[in-house]
Structures are given as structure tokens and as C-alpha cells.
Amino acid sequence: MTFTARHLLGIEHLHPTEITTLLDLADRYVELNRSTAKHSDVLAGLTQINMFFEASTRTQASFELAGKRLGADVMNMAMAHSSVKKGETLIDTALTLNAMHPDLLVVRHPASGAVNLLAEKVNCAVLNAGDGRHEHPTQALLDALTIRRAKGRLHRLTVAICGDIAHSRVARSNLLLLGKMENRVRLIGPPTLMPAGVAEFGCEVFDDMRAGLEGADVVMMLRLQKERMDGAFIPSEREYYHRYGLDAEKLAHAKDDAIVMHPGPMNRGVEIDGTLADDINRSVIQEQVEMGVAVRMAAMDLLAQNLRRERLKKALTTV
Ligand code: CP
């Protein structure tokens, strides 16, 4: 098996060999991105439409750069100024854009499952750029690439994911990916921010951060997802930082060479100490951003190959 998926909607249905194939290709795109030329034509002639129904800096910018570096015609829909504002539904919007023959549709939406639903209605490849609290597959893939490059492997590592697990699609996608690659995952956070039934994922759960960090190879911090909270989940940000904010003292419980990750955007002084986030000896946060472009290039390259194969097969059966 190499990479057989038609869409990239989540980590859930990816096989470990598909993950490895994508990461290997992304490694090659890291080299391209570090070169002077930064350009390839693997998506030449293809049209990529980015539809972001939720705010984004990293994901939207890196999908746009990824498409442009691979030679696609890239269009960013300004969803805040689209006919969605006049009441047009997600599906009607998707069908309208589908009629313009895009090849790659990149979608971020606040509702869990919205991107899967949309993928059923269009005849191009769909990439999930984050849907509600469901999945954020390219984030987990870029995190995996960052870990593999920093640690030299992506198996038998102890990874501590800390903070607002309940509202986090990043946590869910990472949990799935790291489990598939045979890592030990620990979830750390207050019980109010831990989803019900989380033990089914085969991970350990801690509400004491120091205990959860003990001997960890990787410490992944999460943002408090206030936009998805419908009540008070923490007593105060000050109290939260005291118990769950990562600083040098708490990090000392992890391995001496443990790396610090954060998907961004960060709330300095709420979930992470600003000095630690900027410490290039421990923090790989900027590397995560760099890997984001390469992973999105790899994902679109592989999906475009499958799309072209599918179209060729269809054309051959109709002659
Ligand atoms: N990590 C992440 O998804 O960041 P953005 O919301 O800025 O895209």
C-alpha cells in the first residue's frame, strides 16, 4: 500500500503505511522549501479552492503557499463576504464551487462532520483543514513529521498532550495518529476539560501535570478553545496557568531532551510560559509551522495523483 485515500478527512481511516508514505514525501518537500527555487509543477493545471469558515493563520497560509509552490491555480474564498452571509447553505456553496471544476477543495468549518458531508457532494479531492472538535488531520501529520525529525523515530515514544482535550480536534487527530504508530500517549488536564470515554483510546489520563509529564519524550501543549466552550470550565486563567501552564519547573519532570510543541495560536502565560515557547533548545513550535507547508504539499500531491488515476480509469472505461 502507498497512499490510496480519495480525500483527507481525518486520521481515523489512514493506514500506518499511508502515514509513512505522506511523511516521507513531506521530508522531500522540506528540502524543496529550503532551496532557492521552491517550485515544482506537480499540481500544474489543477485548481485548488480554500474555504475557511473559521479564522486561521497557519493552516490557511500554508495551504495557499503549498498549492502555489506546486503550481496549482489557488483561489481563497473570502467566506465572510460570500453568499453564506445571505443564507446560502454549506452544501449549496460547495455545489456552486464544484460546478466550476475545482480539483482540490480545502475546507475548515466550525461544525464537526461538516467536511465529511461536503466531500459526499463534490467530485474533487477534499482536505479537512479542521472541523469543529472532530479532526485536524494535517495538523497531526505536521506534528508527526516534527516529532520524527526531532527524535529520529515515530514509534515507542511517550507523548504528553496537555490542556483542553475536550474541545480539541488537534488532540483527537494526534491521539489517533500516535496510537496507530505505536506510541504511548498521556492526556493531562483538569477533569472538566477531559472528554467522556477517553480511556477507550488506550491512553493514560492525568489531572496532575507533574505526574503526567514524568519521563515524557514529547510535551504537546493545547490552547484553551474558548470559542467552543459553552460555560465555565476553569476557575480562572491564573489558576489554570498555576496548575496546567507549562513552565521550566514543570518541564523538568519530562526527559532532559523532551521537546515542547504547540499547534498555535498560543496564549502566552495561560497554557505556556512565553520564554519557554521561544527557547530554541526545547521548543519546536517554529519547526511545526515549517513542517505544515511541506505536509500540505505532500497531502495535495498524493491526492492529486489518485484523482488523476481515477479520472484516467474513468476515461478509459468510457471509450
Ligand atoms: N494550528 C492551527 O490550526 O492554527 P490556525 O488556526 O492559525 O490555522
Strands 218-221 and 259-261: parallel
Q: Which mutation among 53, 54, 59, 143 tests ligand 1's pocket best, with the greatest number of atoms within 8 A of CB? A: 59
In the β-sheet with 104-109, what is the strand arrangement from edge to edge? 73-77, 47-52, 104-109, 125-131
pLDDT value at 226 more than 90: no
Q: Which mutation among 51, 54, 56 tests ligand 1's pocket best, with the greatest number of atoms within 8 A of CB? A: 56
pLDDT tens for each residue of 162-191:
999 999 999 999 999 999 999 999 999 999
Is the CB of 110 inside a 6 Å radius of any atom of ligand 1?
no
Which 3 state secondary structure label does DSSP give 170? helix
pLDDT tens for each residue of 240-252:
999 999 999 999 9
Could you tell me what percent of the chain has a pLDDT over 90?
89
**Ligand 1 centre from 169 Cα, in Å?**
11
The stretch 71-82 carries a mean pLDDT of: 93
pLDDT given for residue 229 in this prediction: 65
pTM, entire model: 0.96
Is the CB of 54 inside a 6 Å radius of any atom of ligand 1?
no
Q: What is the CA radius of gyration of the chain?
A: 20
pLDDT given for residue 227 in this prediction: 72
Does residue 151 contact residue 157 with C-beta atoms inside 8 Å?
yes
Q: How many residues does the chain have?
A: 319
pLDDT given for residue 228 in this prediction: 67
**Ligand 1 centre from 263 Cα, in Å?**
7
Could you tell me what percent of the chain has a pLDDT over 70?
98
pLDDT given for residue 236 in this prediction: 87
CA–CA distances in Å: residue 264 to residues 47, 98, 193, 284: 28, 31, 18, 12
Atom 4 of ligand 1 has which residue's CA nearest to it?
Answer: 58
